[in-house]
C-alpha cells in the first residue's frame, strides 16, 4: 500500500539502540533515558518520558519505593505482577483493591504519583517470569492527588482493532476535587490520565491491518506525536510496517517516532511477520 501520511516523518528506534540492563532478577530494556542509561536523543517524546520493557524473575521484584509527579502505568504481557501499597501489610489484603492487586495478562495498572506515593511491584509467582511494559508520562501539572486505577483489556477485543486504554481526564487540568475523585475519562471504559495523551493496543494477525486515528478521538491539540512499540513476545516472528513504508518496518523490541501528524490523520499498521504482532500506540501532544 502507498503512504497516506505523506507529510509525516517516521523514525524507527531499533531495539538494538535501546538501553539494556541485566541484574539477574531483572532484565530490562529502556526506549528512553532511564536510571544509569542516558542518551540525549532519547529523553522524552511529547509527554512520553519512559518506556521500559521488563522481565522479572519469580519471587523477586521492586521493593517499596516512592514516586512523585509522574503518571505511571504497567501493561502486563505475560506472567503476574503483584502491586502492594505501603499502607497495607502482606497477608492483610482481603481481596483485590487499590492497595493490593495481583495483575495478569491484559491488566493495566495506573498510578498518579502526584504529591507522593509509595508502592512495591513483585513477582510473587513461584516459577513464572513476568513480562511487562512500564510507561511514564509527564502530567499537565504537578502536585496532583495520588491515585491508582486498574482495568483489564481482553485479547479478544485487541484482535478486532486498536483498543483505547488511556485517555485524558474529562474535567481537564482544572478539575475540582470531586471531578478528580469521579475520575471520568474522555473515552468511556478507559483509564483517565492527567495529560494530553491516549494509549491504544492491538494484536494484529499476519497479513492483517489496523488503523489508528491520530488523537484517538479524545484530544484537542491539533499537532500530535505518536510513538509505536512492538513488544518482544513471539521470538522474533512478529513484524509490522507503518504507513506502507518499507523504511518503517519494525521487528519485536523496535519502536518508531511519528511526527508531523494531526488529529484525524490515519496511521495504517500492517502485520507482515509470521506471527501475530502486539502493537502499543502512545499518542501525545
Annotated binding site for Fe cation: 65, 67, 119, 121
| Contact present, 168 and 219 (Cβ < 8 Å) | yes
Angle at CA of residue 1, ends 197 and 268, nearest 5°: 15
- Rounded Cα distance, 210 and 216, in Å: 13
Q: Which helix (H) or strand (E) holds 134?
A: strand 130-137
C-alpha cell at 71: 503518571
- Rounded Cα distance, 22 and 14, in Å: 19
Residue ranges of the annotated binding site are: 65, 67, 119, 121
3-state secondary structure string across 64-101 = EEEECCCEEEEEEEECCEEEEECCCCCCCCCCCCCCEE
Dihedral sign from CA coordinates of 174, 177, 180, 182: negative
- Rounded Cα distance, 22 and 29, in Å: 9
CA-nearest of 281, 283, 91 to 195 is 283
CA-nearest of 145, 189, 195, 201 to 169 is 195
Give the list of residues 6+ apart from residue 95 with CB closer than 8 angstroms, or none.
none
DSSP strand pairing (130-137 vs 71-78): antiparallel
Amino acid at each position: 500500500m502507498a503512504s497516506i501520511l505523506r507529510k509525516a516523518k517516521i523514525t524507527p528506534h531499533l531495539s538494538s539502540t535501546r538501553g539494556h540492563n541485566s541484574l539477574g532478577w531483572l532484565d530490562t530494556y529502556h526506549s528512553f533515558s532511564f536510571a544509569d542509561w542516558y542518551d540525549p536523543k532519547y529523553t522524552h517524546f511529547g509527554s512520553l518520558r519512559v518506556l521500559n520493557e521488563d522481565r522479572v524473575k519469580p519471587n523477586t521484584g521492586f521493593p517499596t519505593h516512592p514516586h512523585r509527579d509522574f503518571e505511571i502505568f504497567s501493561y502486563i504481557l505475560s506472567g503476574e505482577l503483584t502491586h502492594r501499597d505501603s499502607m497495607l501489610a502482606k497477608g492483610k489484603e482481603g481481596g483485590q483493591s487499590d492497595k493490593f492487586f495481583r495483575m495478569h495478562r491484559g491488566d493495566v495498572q495506573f498510578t498518579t504519583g502526584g504529591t507522593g506515593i509509595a508502592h512495591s511491584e513483585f513477582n510473587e509467582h513461584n516459577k513464572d517470569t513476568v513480562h511487562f511494559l512500564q510507561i511514564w508520562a509527564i502530567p499537565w501539572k504537578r502536585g496532583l492527588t495520588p491515585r491508582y486505577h486498574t482495568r483489564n483489556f481482553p485479547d479478544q477485543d485487541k484482535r478486532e482493532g486498536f483498543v483505547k486504554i488511556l485517555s485524558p481526564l474529562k474535567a481537564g487540568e482544572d478539575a475540582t476535587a470531586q471531578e478528580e475523585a469521579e475520575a471520568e475519562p474522555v473515552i468511556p471504559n478507559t483509564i483517565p490520565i492527567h495529560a494530553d495523551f491516549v494509549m491504544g493496543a492491538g494484536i494484529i494477525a499476519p497479513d492483517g491491518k489496523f488503523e489508528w486515528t491520530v488523537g484517538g478521538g479524545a484530544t484537542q491539540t491539533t499537532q500530535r506525536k505518536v510513538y509505536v512499540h512492538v513488544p518482544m513476545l513471539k521470538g522474533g516472528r512478529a513484524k509490522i510496517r507503518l504507513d506502507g513504508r518499507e523504511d518503517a518496518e519494525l521487528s519485536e523490541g523496535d519502536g518508531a517516532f511519528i511526527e508531523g501528524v494531526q488529529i484525524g490523520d490515519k496511521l495504517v499498521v500492517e502485520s507482515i511477520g509470521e506471527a501475530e504482532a502486539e502493537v502499543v500506540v502512545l499518542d501525545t501532544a
